[in-house]
Amino acid sequence: MYTVIILVFVAGYLCIALEHVIKINKTASALVVGIVCWTLFMFDSTSRDNLLHSQDYDTFIQIKKTEIGQHETANLSSASLHREYVLWSLENHFGEIAQILFFLLGAMTIVELVDANHGFRIITDRINTKNIVSLLWIISLITFFLSAVLDNLTTTIVMVSVVRKLVSDRNTRLLFASMIIIAANAGGAWTPIGDITTTMLWIRGHITTINIMKMLFVPSMLCTIVPLIIISLSLKKHPGIISAPISVQTPVKKSAKMMLLFGIGALISVPVFKTLTHMPPYFGMLLGLGILWVISEFLNPDMEETEKRHYTVAGALSRIDVPSVLFFLGILLAVSALESMQVLHEFSRLLDETFKDQRIIITLIGLLSAVVDNVPLVAAIMGMYDLSHFPVDHMIWEYLAYCAGTGGSILIIGSAAGVAAMGIEKIDFIWYLKKISLLALAGYLAGALVYLILL
């Protein structure tokens, strides 16, 4: 059964990676593999011996002795103890997973609400340069800093949509879209709210806000600048390419500026709230969402209720990407099952014996994230290495945030930002591989090298 659970996890992983080939949504695969792994673990009699000397199992036994007494605990059968351990472990892991999911739900709703009220146009409508290279730098830097506050998927969608209005030549537009992917992934890596992998590390207490921003800003910026310089040089060879005039758009809503300021303020205030109150991050995110909800109810008082709903939190909740939230639930459940079974601890020991250097392991993890979704990779690494041996803000967690966040840019299918741009601009996988992958790899390695030097 122990081997069967691992095979189920691997099969599910392959289904997620090959989503577009097998035509099965990765959320469905993640949910199935997550539930099946825990169910098989419940009936896995062979895994009990592996748990006897684990720290989690020892903690569970101590709690059990406190609850019912040492003698009664000793009289319980091994099968009963195993079942109770599985349920205890599941409850603990699900509590941690729920924090991540509620955090994401709040953040996605806030971003959707700002977008519905045309808040992002306050930024994008101010882009009016006609120099193609200058435009590339402006777009890339806005993307980099915007994705540090928003998620990289939303930032990519917003900025690619802007480029479609500004650049008429398709080949040039593909270069812009590719640079947006790289900048969005790099920008999201250096703040605790910019990328889901960094957010996971932050919520679970592996990194702190100020330290991760201080340590990863320069590497992340360099990861963007290196390919940006190379693409800029290639654009200079085409002086005839000019930006197209911006098409006439509907007027920006009066509420746009207010929702942009309050929305970004709510997102930025989450780390501050955590530092001041010591409450979990999702509390701060839900507080910000609640305040925005109240504000949105007082906007557009002259609108009919059906029309007004589009600009409120109730409307935003109906438009958020729920499948993505459920995907995180499924994959985190699956990884937590392997963690509770001690599979990840054994795997970390094997990696350490093979490579003997965590820096090499994490660098390879970043490269692997170009092929495999970075959420399960980061979840697996967190399960492989213990905070008691690698404390908060240890190099391994900072470097993991950088590598997992930026490595996905190497292939267009390696990140949500890449997949989104691929869909909007119909970017060919092979074109990206030939034109952009080496540039993204150069930026990734440059940032990684700088981080290790500055460490």
Asked whether residue 392 falls in the same domain as residue 265, the answer is yes
Domain boundary among 92, 117, 147: 92
pLDDT at 353 over 50: yes
| pLDDT value, residue 446 | 96
How confident is the model over 161-186, as a mean pLDDT? Answer: 88
Split into its structural domains, the chain has a count of: 2
Asked whether residue 277 falls in the same domain as residue 130, the answer is yes
Domain boundary among 60, 92, 124: 92
Percent of the chain, pLDDT > 90? 27
By residue count, the chain amounts to 455
Asked whether residue 71 falls in the same domain as residue 126, the answer is no
pLDDT at 334 over 90: no
Q: Which carries the bigger pLDDT value, residue 395 or residue 325?
A: 395
pLDDT at 390 over 80: yes
Asked whether residue 261 falls in the same domain as residue 305, the answer is yes
Q: At 129, phi and psi to the nearest 5?
A: -70, 150
Asked whether residue 51 falls in the same domain as residue 139, the answer is no
Which pLDDT band holds residue 52 (cuts at 50, 70, 90)? low
How confident is the model over 290-310, as a mean pLDDT? Answer: 82
| pLDDT value, residue 248 | 45
Whether the pTM exceeds 0.75: the reply is no
For the CA atoms of the chain, what is the radius of gyration? Answer: 23
Beta bridge partners of 167: 243
pLDDT at 375 over 50: yes
Domain boundary among 92, 124, 149: 92
Domain that holds residue 15: 2-92
Q: Which carries the bigger pLDDT value, residue 402 or residue 196?
A: 402
| pLDDT value, residue 206 | 93
Give the integer Cα–Cα distance in Å for 65 and 427.
Answer: 59
Asked whether residue 6 falls in the same domain as residue 144, the answer is no
**Weakest-pLDDT range from 49-53, 87-91, 288-292:** 49-53
Asked whether residue 31 falls in the same domain as residue 168, the answer is no
Asked whether residue 101 falls in the same domain as residue 63, the answer is no
Asked whether residue 84 falls in the same domain as residue 63, the answer is yes
Report CA-CA distances (Å) from 407 to 236, 402, 445: 27, 8, 9
| pLDDT value, residue 117 | 85
Beta bridge partners of 243: 167
